[in-house]
Amino acid sequence: MSSPLAPIDIQLKRLPHGADLPVPAYATAHAAGMDVVSAEELLLPPGGRHAVATGFAMAIPEGYEVQVRPRSGLALKHGISLPNTPGTIDADYRGELKIILINLGDTPFPIQRGDRIAQLVVAPVQLASFTEVDMLDDTARGQGGFGSTGV
């Protein structure tokens, strides 16, 4: 079994409204995502969306992104998700991290300050460039689109 990658350091700047809140952290030894909490209190109505404040900004190292993903328990039990999942926080962004939540459920969902609202996954970024060509190589799938590989 190979050893895990060494952790990278992400600088975190706590904002005044984030005082006394926990920093993002892994809940278990083998968790892929770090729990992030709300720095505000609100009631998210059915169908409603809100950019929830976290009370911090961060400096992600060049070559990495932080992906924002829904918490499975909130999705299953309450229909709370992210409309742009996974969200991407780029390495050059320095503003407050806000988590865009959507209530896909049928009842209002209360969010208290300190509630776990999403998870953050750190990932390497592979840059690419495009080269225009007149023809692409052929594959077994070819131009088969949505649903073309199975029933």
Fold entry, domain 14-124 = Deoxyuridine 5'-Triphosphate Nucleotidohydrolase; Chain A (2.70.40)
Cβ–Cβ < 8 Å for 36, 97: yes
- For residue 142, what pLDDT is reported? 79
Cβ–Cβ < 8 Å for 86, 121: yes
Beta-sheet pairing, 34-37 with 42-44:
unpaired
Per-residue pLDDT tens listing for the chain (151 residues) = 555 778 999 999 999 999 999 999 999 999 999 999 999 999 999 999 999 999 999 999 999 999 999 999 999 999 999 999 999 999 999 999 999 999 999 999 999 999 999 999 999 999 999 999 999 999 887 787 777 666 6
- For residue 58, what pLDDT is reported? 98
